[in-house]
Amino acid sequence: MIILGIESSCDETSLAVYDSEKKSILASFTSSQAELHSRFGGVVPEVASRNHILKIESLFEQCMEKADIKPKDLDAIGVTNAPGLIGALFVGVSFAKALGYSLKIPVIPVNHLSAHIMAAELQHQDLKPPYLALIISGGHSHIYDVDEAYNFDLLAKTIDDAAGECFDKVAKMLGLGYPGGPAIESLAKNGDINKISFPIAIKNRPDFSFSGLKTSVLNKINEKTETDADIAASFQKTIAETLLLKTVRQAKAHGRNKIVVAGGVACNGFIRKTFMEKKGVEVYFPSPRLCTDNGDMIAFTAHKFFGRRIFASLEETAHDRMQHINK
């Protein structure tokens, strides 16, 4: 089976072709808008949507050429339909429906969060459920339990800022660029991770909260008693320790010894190191490229869930929010 994957939930337009017989990605192309949005200090939804429209057709043509196939060789199309920026999602869903209709092949709606989790299985072909999954990105800090039937049970989530959002806001406080994650990580390499003791919020509850940490960082910046590098390093350490503490606690509570960590913030080297050094659990990260938004994970997830026979009709639409990711 050859499946096209389409991702357009935020500021990356990404398409990929997955061959289930070869168990490999035949082609993958991504157009990032990070530089375009950096001047605004964050993603502007209308700008993102317009740029998806400008890029999606050419990326599809590049995928066909690289995979050395024709559109008629496709067996199905997977497309992100939730959650994300609604206008951006509409572009991908509309393109997928039109292409599927013209080729008379099924279109499989894919939840963006389930695809981030499945990216780990694409990367690590020996990985099978059950396992616990932590998704950390600009919009999400969620923990899911994933069983053998690929049911996704939400165990914990952020009650305010997501981890990635917190990185962006702290980076802005420190006068760094967008996106904030890479900027914080770079600055933190010159700082002392133990210089400042920032609090872990709601430590004895499953859910995450990062708004208090953000306020603590702002107060420390205003005090002007510590270097920016020390603040960045101590902040990054607190984020990593918070994520590890709550994720491992949920893994133990649900009898899971395998943990998947995915999403854009999972690119962070310090967070990776913190999790990988934890004894008693197996931790799986997708490669950094598969942690950011990509068509590969959409195509692969569509293949994995094809047997559920949940296909999009012409009335299928996009959803900006959707916590429940089971189909």
Tens of pLDDT, residue by residue over 172-187, are: 999 998 889 999 999 9
Strands (E) across the chain are located at 2-7, 12-19, 24-32, 76-82, 107-111, 131-136, 141-146, 152-156, 258-262, 282-284
How many Å apart are CA 187 and CA 227, to the nearest integer? Answer: 10
How many Å apart are CA 161 and CA 247, to the nearest integer? Answer: 17
The per-residue pLDDT for range 90-114, each reduced to its tens digit, is 999 999 999 999 999 999 999 999 9
- pTM (2 d.p.): 0.93
Residue 284 or residue 139, greater confidence:
284
The per-residue pLDDT for range 22-73, each reduced to its tens digit, is 999 999 999 988 778 888 877 888 888 998 999 999 999 999 999 999 999 9
Q: What average pLDDT score do residues 231-258 get?
A: 97
In CATH, the architecture of 2-116+291-308 is 2-Layer Sandwich (3.30)
Confidence of residue 324 (pLDDT cuts 50, 70, 90): low
Backbone φ, ψ for residue 46 (5° rounding): -65, -40
Confidence of residue 308 (pLDDT cuts 50, 70, 90): confident
Q: What average pLDDT score do residues 279-287 get?
A: 97
- Longest CA pairwise span in the chain (Å): 65
Q: Which ranges of 84-175 would DSSP assign to H, the alpha helix?
A: 86-103, 112-123, 163-173
pLDDT of residue 147: 96
SS3 assignment, position 243: helix
Backbone φ, ψ for residue 188 (5° rounding): -65, -25
Residue ranges of domains in the chain: 2-116+291-308, 129-286
Instruction: Say if 2-116+291-308 and 129-286 have the same CATH topology.
Output: yes
pLDDT of residue 36: 80
Q: From 221, 223, 234, select the one nearest 191 (Cα to Cα).
A: 234
pLDDT of residue 322: 66
Fold classification of 129-286 (topology level): Nucleotidyltransferase; domain 5 (3.30.420)
Q: What average pLDDT score do residues 228-256 get?
A: 98
Confidence of residue 117 (pLDDT cuts 50, 70, 90): very high
